[in-house]
A and B are shown apart, each in its own frame.
Chain A
């Protein structure tokens, strides 16, 4: 439970969209990508609310049959935040409302979401992982903004 941040090497990851990008779970690899099984529904839900695109066309999904909700890996770049300072808040809000709609009638699950923050100029890349309940996503928002300020 909580937030972990670590610097990673993923130079090949480049944003190809004006919004957030959904990355494969094995984004550190350069091919044979597989996406979280939750990614497609999340994408369909999110695309009406914010600019979002897949990093590549998903063909293979990674399914983890746990009650925990393993959300998609989300790429946010510093240039995206410069263009749209509200993007972090919007993204966390979309995840939160998706969870409310998706789990209507069910027990609220634990949530596991990874955000990859990439500094566009320096290419410094940080993986921010949130594990907790769906109501505390403000902590994820805060953690992304902290990394973005540095």
Chain B
């Protein structure tokens, strides 16, 4: 067993090289096998970076912990993008869409720590993928509900009693309200700009009452049940997503 130390600069260089190697496989035409290999490599690299981050947290080195968190988010963004291509090739379009949104959200959070040309290029690339690969959604679901306060993801206390603020980064972790329980659903609105763009319309009915898959426009195996009137369209959609991303 060796006990060699690695400098932050060396870690950063390895990280830069790894991100570049991921970008090489982040195209539709790359083979699915290679993309799966790279995605699995991402998992290992994310775990490695998180282990460095936890060491920085133990030393209370906030700046370094935050930079490792940035790397963690960027690697997760690359992994989500690779997984999105894989799901597209496996005809799992709804999962692919969610992975694209995951990648975009990882980039948004990574930008809280550092903003530079490379991350903005990735942000633009993801936006291009969104507009060229997937259909446009004019409307998304936006639910309103009452809920419990929940706990703080940083200190695990009741969120009402701690001093942490949502969406801020503390020592390499993103503050979120967790363990919230929905008390009562209030409404679901169709909006152009939802908080969660995973809440999409997945099926619609056409003029003949046939149910179409919104991704493929093929007739769906599962029909939307109900009695639609003439000139009315029925939709099937995702009202709420409980996906949690790797921000700890």
Contacts and interface: CB of A to CB of B under 8 A. Distances in A.
Interface of A: 34, 37, 40-41, 44-45, 57-68, 101-106, 110
27 contacts: A34-B146, A37-B147, A40-B149, A40-B166, A40-B177, A41-B165, A41-B167, A44-B164, A45-B165, A60-B147, A61-B148, A62-B145, A62-B186, A63-B145, A65-B143, A65-B240, A66-B142, A66-B193, A67-B193, A67-B195, A68-B193, A102-B166, A102-B167, A102-B168, A103-B167, A104-B112, A105-B115
Given A41-B167, A58-B160, A66 B194 contact: yes
A101 B175 CA distance: 13
Contacts of B148: 59-61
Contacts of A68: 193
Nearest to B143: A65
Contact of B144 (A45, A60, A65, A102): A65
A105 B108 contact: yes
Contacts of B145: 62-63
Given A41-B167, A105-B110, A60 B195 contact: no
A46 to B, nearest CB: 10
A60 B148 CA distance: 5
B200 to A, nearest CB: 13
